């Protein structure tokens, strides 16, 4: 049996059909009446799809439990090793980790993002292990290239009409990046579940630029850079200024204990180099909500610096790097729905993205991707990557065969899992 796929236009990277959990195969008979606008109404089909995986769903309660049993029609009669499986949802990361590592009630807990000292304490109990896999998730700072000042009317704030008074100066952006100690941030926030990074495309290795210049903190260098660029503290208030503009930053992120820790640390370092920093934390459902009427979304970016994490699906970064094109900037014209949060606009970048979309040779694509990555990171500092965040999960010592995978669902090889005797 073979499947023929017809693409509507030339597609240099066709390798995302039928690969992984984001492109499943649906049974035609089951989903015949569920395509297009009818899709949201088919709750039974969506909750209990008939598929070719190792387990099939027998029960589904929303936000609570998925009950599964071994698929009798699975292609390998010897697998899976378990007759039934239960996924229990809800609760928090700490409770999930505890259920595996301390009480042994569950075999696998995913996304157990708990502080490093809790990780160490639980691992020491000896009932289970933490496993980590690194995908493409990067926690980063985006520098606003436009002016978010409230003195501009709505519709002109944070748009290309008014460039940013001081973040338009590359020396300021570079100094802000140099003042940050990414190693400390990673240790404080993620422990084994993170690694410092200077790239926005950290993986796969083929596309990862050789970019390690930002990994060492250099406070003195940052100060010298600002001095040389003319940002000096003339009135002794601890804040640098030039041409009447103070280096005063509004730094926003979401409500999240780890992000608040990062904000506090970065504020300290920036204050040291003479940049006044005000912190703001916004509820995630508002920040990521994209509500055109709210001033606190990350698209509106009514702040100077914002911090969040982003990644891309699959292994090809083309769609991800396309986000930083000039026309992708959120603005009133597109109801603030763009993806180019920092409003970076460079015709050379746009041209290179166009070149990438027409390039088929993988080695050439990798080269272009690395160049594009460098253009937004070490060449311009509009995006300041901080931590390469991995998926941290926990499994009990009695569960064997787990190979955590950051590129697919964590249950990708559940057919191979077995009970350790």
Partner 1 sequence: MLTFTLRRLLLALPTLLFISLIIFLLVDLAPGSPMSEIPLTVPPEVRKKMIEALGADQPVFVRYILWLRQFFWVEPANLIDGWFGLNLAGDEQRILSWQSRSPVFTVIGQRIPQTLTVIGTAYLLGIAIAMPIGIYSAYRQYSVFDQLGTLVAMIGFSVPTFFSGTLFIIVFAVWLHWFPTKYDTTLMVTDWPSFVLQIKQMAMPVMVLALANAAAISRYMRSSMLENMGQDYVRTARAKGMTERVVVLKHVLRNSLIPVVTVIALGIPSIFGGAIITENLFGVNGIGAALIGAIHANDLPMVQTLAFIFAVLIVVFNLIADVLYGLLDPRIRYE
Contact (Cβ atoms closer than 8 angstroms) between residue 201 and residue 318: no
Q: Which of residues 315-334 bind partner 1 (CB under 8 A)?
A: 319
Residue ranges in 257-361 assigned as alpha helix (H)? 257-272, 284-287, 318-322, 347-357
Number of other CB atoms surrounding residue 113 within 10 Å: 22
> Which part of the chain contacts partner 1 (CB under 8 A), choosing from 88-96, 174-182, 196-204, 242-250?
88-96
Q: Which is nearer to partner 1, 52 or 334 (CB)?
A: 334
With residue 310 as reference, give the H or E element that holds it.
strand 305-310
Each residue 233-272 as x (binds partner 1 by CB under 8 A) or -, in order, gives ----------------------------------------
Q: Which of residues 43-62 bind partner 1 (CB under 8 A)?
A: 43, 46-47, 59, 61-62
Q: Which of residues 275-294 bind partner 1 (CB under 8 A)?
A: 283-291, 293-294
**From the list 13, 67, 405, 413, which residue makes contact with partner 1 (rule: CB under 8 A)?**
67
Of 86, 190, 222, 178, which is closest to residue 381 (Cα–Cα)?
Answer: 178
CB of 34 to partner 1, least distance (A): 11
Checking DSSP bridges between strand 276-282 and strand 248-254, what pairing results, if any?
Answer: parallel
User: Burial letters for 27-63: b for 16+ Cβ neighbours within 10 Å, e otherwise?
Assistant: eeeebeebeeeeeeeeeebeebbeeebbbbbeebeee
Of 229, 199, 203, 232, which is closest to residue 381 (Cα–Cα)?
Answer: 199
Number of residues that bind partner 1 (CB under 8 A): 46
CB of 169 to partner 1, least distance (A): 29
Q: Which residues contact 42 (CB under 8 A, 6 or more apart)?
A: 31, 33, 34
Q: Is the peptide bond before 244 cis (omega within 30 degrees of 0)?
A: no
Checking DSSP bridges between strand 305-310 and strand 248-254, what pairing results, if any?
Answer: parallel
Of 203, 201, 198, which is closest to residue 177 (Cα–Cα)?
Answer: 198
Q: Which is nearer to partner 1, 183 or 315 (CB)?
A: 315
CB of 356 to partner 1, least distance (A): 17
**From the list 106, 108, 207, 417, which residue makes contact with partner 1 (rule: CB under 8 A)?**
106
> Which part of the chain contacts partner 1 (CB under 8 A), choosing from 145-153, 160-168, 206-214, 311-319?
311-319
Residue whose tokens read 């698209």: 299
**From the list 55, 85, 98, 273, which residue makes contact with partner 1 (rule: CB under 8 A)?**
98
Q: Which is nearer to partner 1, 116 or 295 (CB)?
A: 295
CB of 149 to partner 1, least distance (A): 21
Q: Which of residues 338-397 bind partner 1 (CB under 8 A)?
A: 338-339
Q: Which of residues 177-206 bind partner 1 (CB under 8 A)?
A: none
Q: Which is nearer to partner 1, 64 or 268 (CB)?
A: 64
CB of 21 to partner 1, least distance (A): 12
CA distance 158 to 89: 39
**From the list 63, 73, 234, 235, which residue makes contact with partner 1 (rule: CB under 8 A)?**
63
Give the DSSP per-residue string, 337-383.
Answer: --S-TT----HHHHHHHHHHHT---HHHHHHHHHHHHHHHTTTT-SE
Residue ranges in 7-42 assigned as alpha helix (H)? 28-31
Q: Is there binding between residue 92 and partner 1 (CB under 8 A)? A: yes
Q: Which of residues 125-184 bind partner 1 (CB under 8 A)?
A: none
Checking DSSP bridges between strand 84-88 and strand 65-70, what pairing results, if any?
Answer: antiparallel
* Residues in touch with partner 1 (CB under 8 A): 37, 39-41, 43, 46-47, 59, 61-65, 67, 86, 88, 90-92, 95, 98-99, 102-103, 105-106, 283-291, 293-294, 296, 310-313, 319, 337-339
């Amino acid at each position: 049996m073979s499947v023929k796929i017809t693409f509507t236009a030339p597609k240099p990277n066709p390798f995302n059909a039928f690969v992984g959990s984001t492109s499943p195969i649906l049974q035609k008979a089951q989903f015949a009446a569920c395509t297009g606008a009818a899709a949201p109404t088919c709750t039974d089909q969506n909750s209990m799809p008939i598929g070719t995986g190792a387990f099939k769903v027998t029960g589904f309660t929303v936000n609570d439990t998925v009950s599964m049993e071994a698929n009798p029609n699975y292609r390998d009669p010897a697998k899976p090793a378990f007759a039934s499986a239960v996924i229990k949802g809800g609760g928090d990361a700490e409770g999930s980790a505890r259920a595996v590592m301390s009480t042994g009630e569950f075999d696998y807990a995913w996304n157990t993002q708990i502080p490093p000292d809790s990780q160490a304490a639980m691992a020491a109990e000896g009932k289970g292990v933490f496993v980590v896999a690194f995908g493409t998730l990067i926690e980063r700072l985006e520098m606003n290239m436009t002016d978010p000042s409230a003195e501009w009317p709505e519709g002109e704030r944070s748009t290309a009409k008014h460039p940013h008074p001081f973040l338009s100066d590359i020396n300021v952006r570079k100094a802000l990046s140099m003042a940050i100690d990414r190693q400390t941030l990673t240790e404080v926030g993620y422990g084994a579940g993170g690694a410092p990074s200077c790239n926005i495309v950290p993986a796969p290795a083929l596309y990862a630029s050789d970019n390690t210049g930002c990994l060492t903190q250099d406070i003195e260098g940052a100060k010298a850079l600002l001095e040389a660029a003319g940002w000096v503290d003339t009135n002794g208030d601890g804040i640098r200024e030039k041409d009447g503009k103070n280096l005063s930053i509004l730094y926003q992120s979401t409500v999240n204990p780890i992000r608040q820790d990062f904000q506090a640390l970065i504020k300290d370092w920036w204050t040291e180099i003479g940049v006044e920093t005000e912190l703001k934390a916004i509820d995630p459902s508002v920040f990521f909500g994209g509500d055109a009427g709210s001033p606190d979304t990350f698209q509106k970016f009514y702040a100077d610096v914002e911090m969040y994490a982003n990644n891309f699906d699959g292994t090809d970064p083309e769609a991800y790097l396309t986000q930083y094109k000039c026309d992708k900037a959120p603005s009133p014209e597109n109801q603030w729905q763009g993806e180019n949060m920092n409003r970076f606009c460079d015709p050379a970048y746009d041209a290179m993205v166009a070149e990438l979309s027409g390039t088929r040779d993988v080695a050439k694509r990798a080269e272009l991707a690395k160049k594009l990555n460098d253009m937004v990171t070490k060449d311009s500092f509009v995006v300041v990557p901080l931590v390469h965040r991995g998926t941290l999960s926990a499994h009990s010592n009695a569960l064997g065969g787990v190979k955590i995978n950051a590129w697919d669902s964590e249950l990708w090889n559940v057919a191979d899992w077995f009970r350790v005797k």
